[in-house]
Amino acid sequence: MKKYDVAAYVWPAYTGDEPRARMFWREGIGEWQSIKNSKPKENGYFWNRKPLWGYVNEADPSVMEMQIEAAVSHGVNVFIYDWYWFDGRPFLEQCLDNGFLKATNNDKMQFYLMWANHDANHCWNIDLSDEYGGTVIWKGAVDRAGFEAVVRRVTEKYFRRPNYYKINGCPVFMIYDVTNLINGLGGIENTKEALSWFREQTKAAGFPDLHLQLTVWNEAEVNLSGFDANMKGSTKDVVRLLEADSVTHYQFAHFVNINRNYEEILPDVSAEWKRIEKEYKMPYFPHISCGWDNNPRFKKFRPGIVKNNTPENFEKGLLMAKEYLDTHPDLPPLLTINSWNEWTETSYLEPDDFYGYGYLDAVKRVFG
């Protein structure tokens, strides 16, 4: 049977071990606080799912040992950790450092990093999210000195790990917000030079090269000159100019209308894969999301919800991704899934009291 690399994103906020997280989740259990305290909305809508494993601390190695066994036994063999750098230092590293990397069985699974370099705002704090959710607390953009600090940390601390995910020997590093990257570094030319330096640092660490993976959203106009300038391009121009090695998505909500039935969404997802393959001229790794509903983060009702995203319909998406990989034999057999544990966005593989192990079982049926 062909082996596939089934990679699920990990949102590392289900722990109270990060001191700075208390400003968002005072109870000291991370974003489990929003799940545990979910209440009916003014219109009667009630998001009331509960985790079968309980409100566990995912920075605890014993918890992660259990989760790793559950993941690999169902065909998920790669975790993509959302990785943050705010205010000149890392944020929410504990789930990776203290949980996954200290788990005695982490050799069964590979991992890589997605630098979630978006701004941080009050969206995570349910007491402020409705009125002040867009207020920026920390900027995700960094200048060259900050960029170099990020590169040194990831190359020295993570790339050398034996189970860090590589393609052709090159460690994969994903960047979430390319526009923020360009704005922080002061334009496309400065960003190209910084990424070239990143590649040289990766080679100096003993690897053939860096595999730079970029997150694509919908096709949009992008400022190529940095902040407050006017040289414009599209998303496909950016990934070409930055010489990315591959692209993938993070969430269906980033590029299709999600306020409908899951089965209606899938044809549009497939069409977007084909468009990217045609226009981007670089490897695209197929992406499947479990769903979308971010009402747990707000007191007031938030419209825009994926409907009928049952494990059975999710499985149809997985089969679509498998077919894409099977018809692209020169492509490394990697697909990305949103996600392992995005509970507050209702897009998770972890078992709940609604579908049980349904999503994980779907992965197992398709990928073994």
Q: Which of 25-39, 215-229, 255-269 has the lowest mean pLDDT?
A: 215-229
Whether 51 contacts 11, CB under 8 Å: no
Concatenating the DSSP letter of every residue in 284-341 gives: B--EEE-----GGG-SS------B---HHHHHHHHHHHHHHHHT-TTS--EEEEE-SS
Q: Determine how many CB atoms are found less than 10 A away from the CB of residue 220.
A: 12
CA atoms of 304 and 260, how far apart (whole Å):
8
End-to-end CA distance of the chain: 9
Residue 330 predicted with pLDDT over 60: yes
User: What is the model's pLDDT at position 230?
Assistant: 56
Q: What is the pLDDT of residues 4-22, one digit of tens each?
A: 999 999 999 999 999 999 9
Whether 173 contacts 154, CB under 8 Å: yes
Q: 62 pLDDT band (50/70/90 cuts)?
A: very high
Rounded mean pLDDT of 124-138? 94
Whether 349 contacts 8, CB under 8 Å: yes
Rounded mean pLDDT of 131-153? 96
User: What is the model's pLDDT at position 185?
Assistant: 97
Entry field: residues in the chain: 368
**Residue entry with tokens 């390319």:** 178
CA-to-CA dists, residue 132 to 83, 123, 137, 253, 305, angstroms? 24, 8, 11, 22, 22
CATH numbers and ranges of domains, the chain = 5-140+249-367 (3.20.20.80)
Residue type, 141: A
CA atoms of 218 and 178, how far apart (whole Å):
13
Residue 226 predicted with pLDDT over 80: no
Q: 253 pLDDT band (50/70/90 cuts)?
A: very high
Q: What is the pLDDT of residues 335-365, one digit of tens each?
A: 999 999 999 999 999 999 999 999 999 999 9
User: What is the model's pLDDT at position 235?
Assistant: 83
Rounded mean pLDDT of 218-241? 71
Q: What is the pLDDT of residues 170-199, one digit of tens each?
A: 999 999 999 999 999 999 999 999 999 999
Residue 42 predicted with pLDDT over 70: yes
Percent with pLDDT over 90 in the chain: 92
- Average pLDDT of the chain, as a whole number: 95
User: What is the model's pLDDT at position 228?
Assistant: 47
Rounded mean pLDDT of 126-135? 93
Would the pTM count as exceeding 0.85?
A: yes
Q: What is the pLDDT of residues 309-323, one digit of tens each?
A: 999 999 999 999 999
Q: Which residues is 86 bridged to in the sheet?
A: 89
Q: 368 pLDDT band (50/70/90 cuts)?
A: confident
Q: Determine how many CB atoms are found less than 10 A away from the CB of residue 143.
A: 12
Q: What is the pLDDT of residues 68-108, one digit of tens each?
A: 999 999 999 999 999 999 999 999 999 999 999 999 999 99
CA atoms of 83 and 10, how far apart (whole Å):
9
User: What is the model's pLDDT at position 128?
Assistant: 95
